[in-house]
């Protein structure tokens, strides 16, 4: 599978993601500059974390209109796989590719901590290999990560099993205390109805190398590779 990581001015998790895919997982990865229009025949596009355009106006609002986003949106609308992590998730919501919005954390503080997540929908390319019974420990690092959607949208997300992850405690309980940013229904990540566009606030790429002492994020990327093997095998 050929991966493309989009680099916006202010992206800062782009190289973590590239390193993981290329060095740890041995995949082909290309860097996609935000001013380009060529997705270079990638099979899977990732919008990385960071502070694109300095988070001016609203996080992700300006990046959503970067030149390459025209091709990224068309790629995803035609069924291409697209994952947004943190700022990438904010960009996907601003682009209308995923429902809802990411609001300021109620504390008004930038939160940088480990969170526990429980996988909800297991029938997606990013979660198929993740153990739904064991909470994952994945770091979050954001100021605007409080997921918000109207009651109607929430109902649709739940009815169509589009919630990928919810914040939980170490035992897997969805509590208010384990919700770091006041997200509605402890939602940490979602997908679209077509199950090819994914967004999550936590950073699995920061928890995928034994040197960092935590590889809980690895199973998300292994899910993608496993799905590829199944198709090719």
Partner 1 sequence: MKYIAEINVMPHKEILDPQGKAVSKSMVNLGLSEIQNVRIGKHITLEIEAPDEQAAHAKVDEACKKLLANLIMESYEFTLRPA
Give the footprint of partner 1 on this chain (CB under 8 A): 57-58, 61-62, 65, 93-94, 100-101, 103-108, 148-150, 182
Q: What's the closest the beta carbon of residue 144 comes to partner 1, in angstroms?
A: 10
Q: What's the closest the beta carbon of residue 45 comes to partner 1, in angstroms?
A: 22
Our CB check for partner 1 shows the closer of 25 and 153 to be 153
Cα 68 from Cα 18, distance rounded (Å) = 18
Our CB check for partner 1 shows the closer of 22 and 58 to be 58
**Residue 31 among the catalytic residues:** no
Our CB check for partner 1 shows the closer of 92 and 208 to be 92
Q: What's the closest the beta carbon of residue 63 comes to partner 1, in angstroms?
A: 11
**Residue 142 among the catalytic residues:** no
Q: What's the closest the beta carbon of residue 10 comes to partner 1, in angstroms?
A: 17
Our CB check for partner 1 shows the closer of 101 and 200 to be 101
Catalytic residue among 13, 86, 93, 116: 86
- Annotate 66-129 with DSSP letters as a single string: SHHHHHHHHHHHTT-EEEEETHHHHHHHHTTSSSSEEEPPTT-SPEEEEEEEEE---SSTTTTT
The residues that bridge with 112 in the sheet, in sequence order, are 141
Catalytic residue among 116, 142, 191, 203: 203
Q: What is the dihedral of CA 60, 64, 68, 73, to 10 degrees?
A: 120
Cα 119 from Cα 214, distance rounded (Å) = 17
**Residue 177 among the catalytic residues:** no
**From start to end of the chain, where are the E strands?**
2-7, 28-33, 44-47, 81-85, 101-103, 111-119, 136-142, 146-148, 163-168, 187-191, 197-200
Catalytic residue among 42, 142, 144, 205: 205
Catalytic residues: 86, 203, 205
């Amino acid at each position: 599978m050929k991966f493309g990581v989009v680099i916006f001015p202010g992206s800062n998790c782009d190289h973590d993601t590239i390193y993981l895919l290329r060095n740890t997982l041995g995949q082909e990865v290309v860097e996609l500059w935000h001013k380009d229009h060529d997705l270079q025949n990638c099979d899977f596009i990732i919008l990385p974390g960071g502070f694109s355009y300095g988070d001016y106006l609203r996080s992700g609002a300006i990046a959503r209109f970067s030149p390459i986003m025209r091709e990224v949106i068309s790629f995803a609308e035609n069924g291409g796989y697209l994952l947004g992590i943190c700022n990438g998730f904010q960009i996907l919501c601003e682009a209308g590719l995923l429902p809802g919005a990411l609001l300021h954390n109620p504390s008004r503080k930038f939160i940088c901590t480990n969170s526990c997540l429980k996988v909800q929908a297991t029938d997606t390319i990013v979660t198929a290999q993740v153990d739904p019974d064991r909470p994952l420990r994945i770091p979050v690092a954001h100021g605007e990560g409080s997921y918000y959607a109207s009651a109607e949208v929430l109902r649709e997300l739940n009815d169509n099993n589009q919630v990928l992850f919810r914040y939980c405690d170490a035992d897997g309980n969805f509590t208010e205390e384990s919700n770091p940013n006041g997200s509605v229904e402890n939602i940490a990540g979602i997908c679209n109805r077509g199950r090819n566009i994914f967004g999550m606030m936590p950073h699995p790429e920061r928890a995928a190398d034994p040197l960092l002492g935590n590889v809980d994020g690895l199973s998300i990327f292994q899910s993608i590779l496993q799905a590829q093997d199944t198709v090719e095998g």
